[in-house]
């Protein structure tokens, strides 16, 4: 499993960025939220998935990230340089670690859920989760936890799509 941080310090694609972080408590879950403003990249990051091709990291883009105590996911909302909402990417993860309040971390459990700009929900990287179990990188308990968390998150998101987009847009506007 990979450990990732909110500042995205290991991400070599980002050459110039600014980062702000603050406390939050969306839906009653305390945590931290941040805005990562991208000013220079080695190359734009385009992703091609079942929902089409989209540039999610380029000059002028901002990533809003939210990590809540005890919650088994990490939310990243992407906005482009024209303030357009691109998508929300939920990494299924072990609950985040807040040892460094300015730079929380999480252990990525491979499986992801994307809420697209047209409000579609897409589950991604199931094959990575399956491969991790087959190779012994994770045990059956972790595998089942990731699947159950994904199912629970999908059920919750079905009834809260507009609310979650409104929330991340508010955070983006306040931290821009």
Please give the pLDDT value at position 131.
97
- 100-120 burial, b at 16+ Cβ within 10 Å, e below that, comes to eeebbbbbbbbbbbbbbeeee
Please list the pLDDT of the chain residue by residue as tens digits (176 residues): 789 999 999 999 999 999 999 999 999 999 999 999 999 999 999 987 656 789 999 999 999 999 999 999 999 999 999 999 999 999 999 999 999 999 999 999 999 999 999 999 999 999 999 999 999 999 999 999 999 999 999 999 999 999 999 999 999 999 98
Please give the pLDDT value at position 125.
93
**Residue 68 CB contacts under 8 Å (≥ 6 apart), including other chains:** 24, 25, 26, 29, 30, 31, 96
Instruction: Report the chain's terminal Cα–Cα distance, integer Å.
Output: 32
**Which residue segment(s) compose the domain that 9 sits in?**
3-175
Please give the pLDDT value at position 38.
98
Please give the pLDDT value at position 50.
58
> Quick one: tokens of 11?
């991400």
Please give the pLDDT value at position 57.
96
Please give the pLDDT value at position 49.
63
**Residue 1 CB contacts under 8 Å (≥ 6 apart), including other chains:** 107, 108, 109, 110, 132, 137, 138
> Domain holding 94: CATH number?
2.40.380
Number of domains present in the structure of the chain:
1
């Amino acid at each position: 499993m990979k450990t990732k941080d909110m500042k995205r310090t290991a991400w070599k694609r980002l050459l110039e960025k600014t980062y702000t972080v603050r406390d939050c408590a969306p839906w009653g879950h305390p945590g931290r939220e941040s805005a990562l403003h991208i000013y220079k990249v080695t190359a734009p990051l385009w992703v091609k998935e079942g929902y089409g091709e989209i540039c999610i990291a380029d000059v002028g883009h901002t990533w809003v990230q939210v990590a809540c105590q005890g919650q088994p996911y990490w939310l990243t909302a992407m906005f482009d340089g024209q303030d357009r909402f691109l998508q929300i990417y939920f990494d299924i993860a072990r609950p985040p670690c807040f040892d460094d309040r300015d730079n929380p971390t999480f252990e990525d459990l491979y499986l992801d859920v994307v809420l697209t700009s047209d409000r579609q929900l897409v589950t991604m990287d199931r094959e990575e989760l399956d491969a991790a179990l087959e190779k012994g990188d994770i045990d059956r308990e972790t595998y089942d936890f990731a699947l159950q968390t994904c199912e629970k998150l999908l059920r919750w998101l079905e009834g809260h799509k507009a609310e979650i987009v409104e929330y991340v847009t508010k955070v983006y506007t306040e931290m821009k």
